[in-house]
Amino acid sequence: MSVAATLSPLAFAVTVHLLPPPPIPSNFTATLIDNQTVLLQHAGKINPLVIDTFTESDHNDLGFWHGPSSSLPAENGHGYVRLFPSDADQAYHTQLGPTSCFDMRSYGQMFLHLVFSGSTKFSISLNQHNKECDTGRGPFLETWDSVEAERYARGNDIYVPLNHFVIDHSRAVSFSFHGFFSRDSLTLYKVEIVPDVPSDFYVPPKLENGKLFLHCTRPNSFAFGIDDGLPHLVPDVMNILEEEKILVTFFVVGAGLRDKESNFSHVYKEMLEKGHQIAFHSDTHQKIEGLETIKAVDEEIVHNMETFQRLLGIQSRYFRPPYGTVGARTRQRLAAYIKEPYIINWSVDVEDWLWKDSNTPERQRDAFFRDVGRGGNLVVMHYLSPSTVQYFREFIRFVKSINVDIMRVDQCLEDPNGPPFDPRGSEVKERIAI
């Protein structure tokens, strides 16, 4: 089946390794913040905060970890780092604290300032910690917001108002540079927070770009977000959903729906009738953020929307980026077509893409229980193998056994436009307006 064939395990491995970004290396000893500016901040004055001048290879000027994700080649010089990206998932991170939350609220009206040279074809993100400010809990990064570097770049400077990063600033973790859509190198010389921009510096308006979720917000809720699958496994999946009386969210690719041989348009029509949520997953399952042109990004969104309208008669505000790859452009273009889109990644990864065809398919169970044990409650899984489908029932029963409610993603995010959650399960479908 054409869509399944596009699921490259290698690409998946890269993505999942990056979400959340790599933890601080275990042999890394954080030094205390002795930066004078931080002390001044506590004394009631807000001064510039120099985060990183790249003078040390393993930590920034605050004494905290910085570094590339494992697959991003980086050259560490004295006073710079040069990045050689080849993939939208690669990233460079510079941390604001050791492992806990960094409260940036007092910098609220200030600006992120980068001194750089080279490519502007990347995203800049400010990452938010989880509620516990605990890296042992999942997801480590609860969400993040991203801006497009190019819009804020003038010469060798980038200034971004910190309030363009719409996250909870009391729980900041790090800045990331990622979402590369060019192989041109990028050199960073300085990352800092400053009170002002030069008088002739035009600051563009913040663009709408939706909200990114990795975690259900409703107390005691749990959601299965199921992506691509194989047609011959549909009956088994449907039986499990019927027998267990649960509703889930399917993220569906436009090209798969159009594939007559797979019969997926009928499959998902039936899923809709049964009360499941059907949401967007792009048109041809590529790393959208890595596409070179906005036109190509738009086509992935628009063709997915057109196909849903034509074959299922629906639209959606929910989108899961293929491979979880998401940056500023994907988000902005989604928000250009869909009012206030919900962008859905995950905090429980069954890792079926990694283990389903291995000698140890049971490691899918290990992955599920590991992530749920850390506090994850929003799943990514596929139905591309009988082993995954077999474990699916066990996963459902486990969640039920701990008295957590399984529901659609829109319900677990308390979307006022979603159908109300009815714990009686199967009766819900009678009342759902699609």
Contact residues toward Zn ion (CB under 5 A) are 227-228, 322
**Shortest Cβ 227–Zn ion spacing (Å):** 4
Q: Which amino acid is at 78?
A: H
Asked if residue 135 lies in contact with residue 80, where contact means CB atoms within 8 angstroms, the answer is no
In this complex, which beta carbon is closest to Zn ion, that of residue 179 or of residue 229?
Answer: 229
And the tokens for 333?
């273009």
And the tokens for 324?
């979880």
Asked if residue 18 lies in contact with residue 72, where contact means CB atoms within 8 angstroms, the answer is no
In this complex, which beta carbon is closest to Zn ion, that of residue 322 or of residue 376?
Answer: 322
User: Which residue has the closest beta carbon to Zn ion?
Assistant: 227
**CA 4 – CA 256 distance, rounded (Å):** 9
**Shortest Cβ 301–Zn ion spacing (Å):** 15
Asked if residue 304 lies in contact with residue 280, where contact means CB atoms within 8 angstroms, the answer is yes
In this complex, which beta carbon is closest to Zn ion, that of residue 227 or of residue 410?
Answer: 227
In this complex, which beta carbon is closest to Zn ion, that of residue 138 or of residue 322?
Answer: 322
In this complex, which beta carbon is closest to Zn ion, that of residue 49 or of residue 384?
Answer: 384
Q: How far is CA 160 from CA 102, 126, 164, 192, 296, in A?
A: 19, 11, 7, 11, 26
Q: Which amino acid is at 268?
A: Y
**Shortest Cβ 125–Zn ion spacing (Å):** 22
In this complex, which beta carbon is closest to Zn ion, that of residue 87 or of residue 228?
Answer: 228
CB neighbours (10 Å) of residue 78? Answer: 9
In this complex, which beta carbon is closest to Zn ion, that of residue 12 or of residue 54?
Answer: 12
CB neighbours (10 Å) of residue 13? Answer: 15
106 by Cβ neighbours in 10 Å (0-12 / 13-18 / 19+) ranks as middle
Exposure on the CB side of residue 127, measured as CA atoms within 13 A: 32
**CA 400 – CA 92 distance, rounded (Å):** 39
In this complex, which beta carbon is closest to Zn ion, that of residue 187 or of residue 284?
Answer: 284
CB neighbours (10 Å) of residue 10? Answer: 8
**Shortest Cβ 282–Zn ion spacing (Å):** 8
**Shortest Cβ 255–Zn ion spacing (Å):** 11
In this complex, which beta carbon is closest to Zn ion, that of residue 192 or of residue 283?
Answer: 283
**CA 326 – CA 330 distance, rounded (Å):** 6
In this complex, which beta carbon is closest to Zn ion, that of residue 227 or of residue 352?
Answer: 227
**CA 174 – CA 186 distance, rounded (Å):** 19
